[in-house]
Amino acid sequence: MTKPSIHFERCGEQQEIAVIRLTRAAKRNALNDGLIMSLRELFEKMPAGIRAAVIAGEGEHFCAGLDLSELQERDAGQGLMHSRMWHAALESLQFGPVPVVAALQGAVVGGGLELASACHIRVADETTFYALPEGSRGIFVGGGGSVRIPRLIGVARMTDMMLTGRVYNAQDGERIGLAQYLVPQGNAFAKALELAQRIAQNAPLTNYALTHVLPRIADQPADQGFMTEAMMAAIAQSAPEAKQRVRDFLEGRAAKVQKA
């Protein structure tokens, strides 16, 4: 399935992995309104049977952020609505049907970093660099970056990126928590796919708990977080699939945890 500037295909033995590619390489995968709306629609109407997704950019760059050519004169109300449109799209990804792994290379900047930070796992290759040029363009983040990026790297580092235009390279990006994995040049997609296939083997309810419940617990006061955790734990362990998986381990049919 191809929508303007976005390509969707299924892969994996049971076609259980969704591969989503931004296909505006000539514009460094800059995100225009059509692309943002297509992303939202895709996550809201994810076909049945998909258990994990990979999102990647075509060409040398993951994403150059907001398509600046669309940044027309908007009044305050229109600007608010535009930002809310991004929020709805990236929420449909973050709190969508399946875990999403981002395969990063080259520029991950502005709205591109906002998109990446809405994904659950980020795999970067050695060419990756991260920046928030909004500061120097006279604007502010509007795609949820002020909420999600400090949760990855802290308010101080995000403030520095925006005040000074600081660019993080791939190594430093992984060190500070912008990506969980760093791989050699050209290997981000393969690693992201490998991780998605591993994620797809989990019980769907566990994946749901990790993508929908864990981030909400992190935002709750500890007392409420403990209660939410207890309720999620009770629901998860009562599922027939959980009981079967535990039995498989106890009866020697499931893999042990291997030393790293």
Residue 113 and residue 104: Cα distance in Å, rounded? 10
Q: What is the maximum alpha-carbon separation in the chain?
A: 66
CA 74 → CA 32, 37, 111, distances in Å? 15, 19, 18
Contact with ligand 1HE (CB under 6 A): which of 111, 117, 130, 183?
Answer: 111
107 contacts ligand 1HE (rule: CB under 6 A)? yes
Structure tokens belonging to residue 118: 């809405």
Q: Quote the least distance from Cβ 139 to ligand 1HE, whole Å.
A: 6
* Cβ-based nearer residue to ligand 1HE, 40 or 51: 40
Active site residue 114: yes
Catalytic residue among 44, 60, 70, 134: 134
Residue 108 and residue 167: Cα distance in Å, rounded? 10
Catalytic residue among 58, 73, 114, 229: 114
Nearest to 93 by CA among 122, 145, 65, 53: 53
- Whether the CA torsion 120, 177, 84, 63 is positive or negative: it is negative
- Contact characters 1-40, ligand 1HE, x per CB under 6 A: --------------------------xx-x----------
What residue has token string 């009044």?
Answer: 75
* Cβ-based nearer residue to ligand 1HE, 68 or 239: 68
* Cβ-based nearer residue to ligand 1HE, 55 or 196: 55
CA dihedral 39, 43, 49, 55 (to 10 degrees): 50
- The window from 90-98, 138-146, 233-241, 244-252 that contacts ligand 1HE (CB under 6 A) reads 138-146
Instruction: Return the half-sphere exposure (C-beta side, CA atoms, 13 A cut-off) of residue 208.
Output: 9
Taking residue 9's Cβ as centre, other Cβ atoms within 10 Å add up to 12
* Cβ-based nearer residue to ligand 1HE, 163 or 254: 163
- Contact characters 47-86, ligand 1HE, x per CB under 6 A: --------------x--xxxxxx----------------x
Please say whether the beta carbons of 200 and 52 come within 8 A: yes
3-state secondary structure of 258: coil
Ranges within 230-259 binding ligand 1HE (CB under 6 A): none
- The window from 97-105, 130-138, 165-173, 210-218 that contacts ligand 1HE (CB under 6 A) reads 130-138
Q: Quote the least distance from Cβ 232 to ligand 1HE, whole Å.
A: 32
> Which sequence positions are flagged as catalytic?
114, 134
Where does this chain bind ligand 1HE (CB under 6 A)? 27-28, 30, 61, 64-69, 86, 107, 109-111, 133-134, 137, 141-143
